[in-house]
Each structure stands twice: as C-alpha cells, then as structure tokens.
Amino acid sequence: MAFALVCFSLCHGTTQELFLQANKLYQEHEYQRALELYQTIEHKGPAVWYNMGNAAYNLNQYVDARVFWERAKCGATRAELADITYNNEMLDQQFEEQPQTIDAWESMLTSLQAYAASFSMLFLQLLILSLTLIMCILLRSALSMRFVIIVCLCIVYVPAMMLTGSKMAARSRCVAVMKDEQASLFTGPDEQFHVIEVVPQGTRLVLEQEHGQWCKARYAAVVGWIKKDTMVIA
C-alpha cells in the first residue's frame, strides 16, 4: 500500500498548520484524529484527499478510502496517479473482489490522464494555439518543405489535442462509489425494469445521467440505472 503521506506547500498559514498537524497524527497512528483534522481543511487539494484516503483505509473505512482517492485524482501528478491506481487495486482485495475491469475507452482515458498530469491545461492550450498559428502561416507560405514541416507539427499537435481532451473529460466526468453491500443495475430508472447486473460494495461507477432518485451509470462495460442513495458521489 502506498501509505507515504503526500506533502505540499500552502499559502494560508492556518491551512498549512492543520495539514502538518494531521500528518503528525497519522505518523503517530492516530488515524481517526488525523482524518477528522484533514476534514477541517476548507480547500482540499489532491494531497489532502490522498492522505484522507490513507487514513480511512487504516480505519477499515474502505468505501470512504476509495471516494477520497477518487477525489485526489483531480490535479494529481503522474506519480500520485500511479499510487492511487495501486492503492485501488489493493483495495479490491479488501472487498474480496477481482480488480475491476474497465472498457477500452476508460482504459485509454486513464492512460492519457496519467500522461496529461505532467502538463498544465494552460500549457497544452497555448501549445495547440501556437501550432495552429504556425501551420496556418506555413500553408500560406511558399516554402518548399512546408508540407514536411506541417506533418512534423501534426505529430506534436495530435497528442497535444488528445491530452487536452483527456483533461477536459476527466474534469467533466462524475464518479461514484457503491456504499451498500450490493445494489442492482436496472435497464431503466425503476425497480420494475429488468436487473442486468448486481454491483458489489466499493465498486467505482461512472455516472452518465441523472433522473430523479436514479442515475444512469457505467459499470465496467455495462450501462444501466441504479438508485442514487446506494452510492457516494466522488
């Protein structure tokens, strides 16, 4: 388990003091007090959520641990994302399950998100804008090698677009974690519809739509409707 605490610099002295005090309590194995202190931090970044997940795991609060680690993904570095992925795989064992299978799109998005974590959104947007302007200028020029140069620029342009898209998709994606021991996934937003899958506790779901007290969710490669009160929104 990647239990090493993540540290970060904070501008606000009070927030930094709370964070350091919570880290000290964690290192002293006072996990409940550490978790309570982390929760008092008003503006939680990925480091706070990650450490909260570690504390919750040590308290055997596995659903909360997964929720906190999911929240830590937003703004996390590539190394932190790798730690979160490893922790989630270990967490599957606590739920006595096989690691969750994900579809090809989810797998690709996760991989792109890991690479995109190395770059800021502003950098990627400026890079795309710069490459677009350069290609427009080259198309209007009379350079004999302009098409070769444009092809070379496209080799950079396409991955930059994919990384930017993955960042935007990650920000807009809504994830939930199953808190009940198990819940049914229906073909429609009502218990009268057929059950297509039974979702176990601790499972990560990607939410696609909301309808009253129901949510349309993706579980592995299966999409169906599930009651909202059976989940915790991450």
Name the residue ranges covered by the structural domains of the chain: 13-94, 107-172, 174-233
Q: What percent of the chain has pLDDT over 90?
A: 32
Which range, 47-56, 83-92, 159-168, 174-183, has the best average confidence (pLDDT)? 47-56
Enumerate residues 6+ apart whose C-beta is below 8 A from 72: 46, 47, 49, 50, 53, 80, 84
Tell me the mean pLDDT in the region 180-199.
Answer: 92
Residue 140: the pLDDT is 73
Query: Which is more confidently placed, 215 or 91?
Result: 215
138-to-21, 112, 134, 143 alpha-carbon distances in Å: 57, 29, 6, 7
Place 10 in a pLDDT band, splitting at 50, 70 and 90.
Answer: very low
Distance in angstroms (rounded) separating the CA atoms of residues 73 and 75: 6
Q: Which fold has domain 13-94?
A: 1.25.40
Helices 78-94 and 104-116 cross at an angle (nearest 10°) of: 140
Indicate if 174-233 has the same CATH topology as 13-94: no
Place 142 in a pLDDT band, splitting at 50, 70 and 90.
Answer: low
Tell me the mean pLDDT in the region 175-191.
Answer: 90
Q: The pTM is what? A: 0.67
Place 133 in a pLDDT band, splitting at 50, 70 and 90.
Answer: confident
Tell me the mean pLDDT in the region 9-31.
Answer: 82
Distance in angstroms (rounded) separating the CA atoms of residues 176 and 190: 19
Place 233 in a pLDDT band, splitting at 50, 70 and 90.
Answer: confident
Residue 40: the pLDDT is 92
Q: Which residues make beta-bridge pairs with 198?
A: 184
Place 11 in a pLDDT band, splitting at 50, 70 and 90.
Answer: very low
In the chain, which ranges are continuous DSSP H helix?
Answer: 13-27, 31-39, 46-58, 62-72, 78-94, 104-116, 121-140, 146-172
Residue 148: the pLDDT is 72
The CATH architecture of the domain made up of 174-233 is Roll (2.30)
Q: How many residues are present in the chain?
A: 234
Residue 63: the pLDDT is 92
Q: Which of 74, 32, 86 is nearest to 55 (CA)?
A: 32
